[in-house]
C-alpha cells in the first residue's frame, strides 16, 4: 500500500540501529524538503494541536475519489519538519481514496516512529495525519 | 555543615527511576518539583487513617483532620517568616492566590485610569488577573522592562509608580531568567507612596529562606507543588491590614457564619477567603514538605543550589553555540536557552528527553517576556534541592548531541 518513496525510507530505517541514527535521518529528510513560502503560512494552512508551528498546504489535482492528493508542509522545528517529510513520502501522489485507506499508525510503526502518534505527544504528528485525512475526505465527498 | 545530597536524593523515590532507558535527570523543577517519601506517606496516611472533612463535624476523625490541616497554617507561617498565622490564606496555588487579590482587593477599589505596575517578566498567573481589571474596568497596566542581563532596576519600578498607581505586582524570582529581583527597595518606595505590593513568590520561596515580616510585601503568593508538596496546595500571605480591606472572592460553605434568606454574615479572615471543602490532604502534604525543607535548612538548600548555579553557568558558557537568557549576578539556578541555528526548543527538549533529561520547552507562561526577548520559545533547565553537578554534565553532553544533530 505504501508508496515507493516511503518504502525507501522504511528500508533505510532497517539499517539504523538506535533512536539517534533514526532521528538523524528524520532531520536530514526535513532538511532536504523545500520550505514553504511565508505567504502560504496562514491560519488556513496551520495545523493546531502542535507544540511547534506546523503548516500543511494541500495541492489536490482532479475531482472526487480519484483526485490526486499532493501537499507541501513545513514547521519551525527540525524534527517535526522531518516527520512532515516522512508523511509526504507516505501520502503524496496517492488518490484521495487511497489516502483514506493508509494505516498511518501501522506504517509509522515500521519506522519506530509510532510513539509520536500518541495523543499525549505534543509534536503534532497525530494532528498532521488527522489534517491530511480530513483534506482527503473533504475532496472524496465533493 | 555538609549537604548530604545522596541522602536527599534517596528521599525522593522518583529520582531512582529510568526514562527512555536512561537514569532520570529531572531539570523541570520550575514547572513542578518531585515529592519526598515523607510527603507521599503523609498523603497516604491522611487518606488511609485520618480522613474526614474539616471544620464541620464534631466526630473524632473530623477533629483530627481539622487539627492536622489547621496546623499547616502555622507551618506555612513559620516557613515564610510570618508571625501572625491568621495572615495565611490556604489556596490551591499561586494562581488562586493572585486571583483572590484581584477579585477581593483590587476590583472593588480600582477605577478606569488607575494603574497597576508590573514587570515584563511576570508569569501569566500574575498578568491575566490584572488583564481582567483592564478589560472590565479600564485599569491601565504599566510594564517595566528588564535589561539585557535580565536585571530589573528597582529605581525603574519606583519611577513607574505614579499618582494613579494602586498596586505593584511583581515576581520575586523570574521563572525564565532566574533573576531574584531586588524587591525590598521597591516595596519601601511603594509604601512611602501609599501603594501596596504583591509579590509572586512561586519560584523564590523554593530556593531561599524568607522573612516576609521583614520584607514587608502586602501580598505574597506561593504554590505547594513547586515546594515539593502536593499539586493543588498553596497559600498566600496577606497582611492583616490588607485583609481587612478585602471582600470575599469565592462564596460557599465554611467562609460564612450565618446564611439567611436576605443576608449573610461572613466568617472572619482568613476563613472568609476559604470557601468550600479545601484541599485537605494536599495542604497536610504541603505542611510535611515544608517541614522537610526546613529540616534540611533553607540556607543549606540555597547554598547547594548556588553551587549548582555556578557550575552550570560555567559549563553552559563553554558552549559557544548556546544562548542563555539572563546572566544577572542575582541569578538562581534557572537556565533558559536557545541554540544558534534552526533548532527549535522542542527539537532540543525531544532529544534531551531521549537522554533522560526532563526540561521544559516553550513560552513558560511568559508571553510578554518572550516578546521582549524576541523569542518564540526557549528550553529551560531549572534546578532543585536534589540536583547534582553530575546531572549538569549529563545535560551538557545531551546539548552537545543536539548541536551536532541540528547543525
Contact B351 A122 (CB under 8 A): no
- What is the secondary structure of A50-93 as a DSSP string? -SS-EEEEE--BSSGGG-B--EEEEESSHHHHHHHHHHHHHHTT
| B354 contact residues in A (CB cutoff 8 A) | 19-20, 23
Q: Is this complex's ipTM strictly greater than 0.85?
A: no
B201 Rama sector, left if φ>0, alpha if ψ -120 to 50, beta otherwise: alpha
Is A131 part of the annotated catalytic residue set?
A: no
- Residue A127 is predicted with a pLDDT of 86
Contact B354 A23 (CB under 8 A): yes
* Mean pLDDT rounded to a whole number for chain B: 96
What is the pTM (predicted TM-score) of this model? 0.93
The C-alpha cell at B195 is 501603594
What distances in angstroms separate CA B104 from CA A6, A84, B270, B301, one per listed residue?
A: 60, 49, 12, 35
For residues B252 and B243, give the distance between their C-alpha atoms in angstroms, rounded to a whole number: 19
pLDDT in tens, B122-138: 999 999 999 999 999 99
Partners of B18 in the β-ladder? B23
Q: Which residue of A has its CA nearest to B401?
A: A20
Burial of B87 (0-12, 13-18, 19+ CB in 10 A): buried
pLDDT range class, residue A53, cuts 50, 70, 90: confident
The answer, yes or no, to whether residue B39 has pLDDT greater than 60, is yes
Mean local confidence (pLDDT), B133-151: 97
Q: Which residue of B has its CA nearest to A50?
A: B346
Q: Is B354 on the interface with A (CB under 8 A)?
A: yes
- Residue B157 is predicted with a pLDDT of 98
- Residue A116 is predicted with a pLDDT of 63
What distances in angstroms separate CA B159 from CA A8, B134, B153, B162, B225, one per listed residue?
A: 65, 21, 10, 7, 35
pLDDT range class, residue B15, cuts 50, 70, 90: very high
Percent share of chain B, pLDDT over 70: 100
pLDDT in tens, B268-299: 999 999 999 999 999 999 999 999 999 999 99
pLDDT in tens, B239-261: 999 999 999 999 999 999 999 99
| B347 contact residues in A (CB cutoff 8 A) | 77-80
Nearest to B105 by CA among B242, B276, B228: B242
Residues B202 and B175 sit within 8 Å (Cβ to Cβ): yes
Residues contacting A41, CB < 8 A, separation 6+: A53, A55, A74
pLDDT in tens, B348-394: 999 999 999 999 998 999 999 999 999 989 999 999 999 999 999 99
| B344 contact residues in A (CB cutoff 8 A) | 52, 75-78, 80
| A16 contact residues in B (CB cutoff 8 A) | none
Q: Which residue of A has its CA nearest to B376?
A: A52
Contact B405 A76 (CB under 8 A): no
Amino acid at each position: 500500500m505504501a508508496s515507493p518513496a516511503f518504502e525507501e525510507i522504511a528500508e533505510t530505517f532497517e539499517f539504523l540501529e538506535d533512536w539517534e541514527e533514526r532521528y538523524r535521518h528524520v532531520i536530514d529528510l526535513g532538511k532536504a524538503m523545500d520550505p514553504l513560502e511565508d505567504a502560504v503560512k496562514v491560519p488556513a494552512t496551520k495545523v493546531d494541536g502542535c507544540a511547534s508551528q506546523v503548516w500543511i498546504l494541500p495541492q489536490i489535482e482532479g475531482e472526487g475519489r480519484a483526485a490526486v492528493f499532493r501537499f507541501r508542509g513545513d514547521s519551525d522545528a527540525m524534527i517535526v519538519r522531518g516527520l512532515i517529510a516522512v508523511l509526504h513520502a507516505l501520502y503524496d501522489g496517492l488518490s484521495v481514496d487511497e489516502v483514506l485507506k493508509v494505516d498511518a499508525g501501522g506504517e509509522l510503526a515500521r519506522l519506530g516512529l509510532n510513539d509520536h502518534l500518541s495523543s499525549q505527544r505534543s509534536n503534532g504528528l497525530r494532528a498532521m495525519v488527522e489534517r491530511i485525512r480530513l483534506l482527503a475526505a473533504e475532496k472524496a465527498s465533493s | 555543615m555538609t549537604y548530604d545530597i545522596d541522602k536527599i536524593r534517596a528521599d525522593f523515590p522518583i529520582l531512582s527511576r529510568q526514562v527512555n532507558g536512561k537514569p532520570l535527570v529531572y531539570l523541570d523543577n520550575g514547572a513542578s518539583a518531585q515529592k519526598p517519601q515523607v510527603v507521599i506517606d503523609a498523603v497516604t496516611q491522611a487518606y488511609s487513617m485520618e480522613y474526614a472533612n474539616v471544620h464541620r463535624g464534631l466526630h473524632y476523625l473530623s477533629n483530627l483532620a481539622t487539627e492536622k490541616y489547621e496546623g499547616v497554617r502555622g507551618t506555612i507561617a513559620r516557613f515564610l517568616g510570618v508571625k501572625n498565622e491568621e495572615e495565611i490564606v490556604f489556596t490551591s496555588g499561586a494562581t488562586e492566590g493572585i486571583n483572590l487579590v484581584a477579585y477581593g482587593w483590587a476590583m472593588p477599589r480600582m477605577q478606569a485610569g488607575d494603574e497597576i505596575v508590573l514587570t515584563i517578566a511576570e508569569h501569566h498567573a500574575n498578568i491575566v488577573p490584572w488583564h481582567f481589571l483592564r478589560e472590565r474596568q479600564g485599569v491601565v497596566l504599566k510594564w517595566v522592562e528588564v535589561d539585557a542581563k535580565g536585571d530589573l532596576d528597582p529605581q525603574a519600578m519606583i519611577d513607574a509608580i505614579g499618582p494613579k498607581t494602586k498596586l505593584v505586582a511583581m515576581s520575586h524570582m523570574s521563572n525564565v531568567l532566574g533573576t531574584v529581583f531586588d524587591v525590598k527597595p521597591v516595596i519601601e518606595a511603594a509604601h512611602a507612596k501609599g501603594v501596596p505590593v504583591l509579590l509572586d513568590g512561586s519560584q523564590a520561596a523554593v530556593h531561599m529562606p524568607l522573612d516576609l515580616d521583614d520584607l514587608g510585601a502586602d501580598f505574597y503568593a506561593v504554590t505547594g507543588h513547586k515546594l515539593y508538596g502536593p499539586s493543588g496546595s498553596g497559600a498566600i500571605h496577606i497582611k492583616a491590614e490588607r485583609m481587612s480591606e478585602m471582600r470575599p472572592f469565592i462564596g460557599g460553605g465554611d467562609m460564612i457564619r450565618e446564611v439567611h434568606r436576605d443576608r449573610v454574615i461572613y466568617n472572619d479572615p482568613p476563613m472568609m477567603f476559604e470557601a468550600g471543602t479545601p484541599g485537605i490532604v494536599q495542604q497536610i502534604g504541603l505542611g510535611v514538605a515544608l517541614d522537610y525543607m526546613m529540616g534540611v535548612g533553607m540556607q543549606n538548600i540555597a547554598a547547594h543550589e548556588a553551587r549548582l548555579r555556578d557550575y552550570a553557568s560555567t559549563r553552559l558558557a563553554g558552549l559557544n553555540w548556546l544562548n542563555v537568557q539572563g546572566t544577572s549576578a542575582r541569578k538562581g539556578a534557572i537556565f533558559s536557552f536557545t541554540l544558534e541555528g534552526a533548532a527549535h526548543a522542542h527539537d532540543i527538549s525531544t532529544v534531551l528527553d531521549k537522554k533522560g533529561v526532563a526540561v521544559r520547552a516553550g513560552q513558560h507562561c511568559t508571553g510578554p517576556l518572550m516578546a521582549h526577548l524576541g523569542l518564540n520559545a526557549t528550553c529551560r533547565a531549572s534546578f532543585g534541592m536534589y540536583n547534582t553537578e553530575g546531572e549538569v554534565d549529563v545535560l551538557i553532553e545531551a546539548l552537545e548531541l543536539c548541536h551536532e544533530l541540528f547543525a
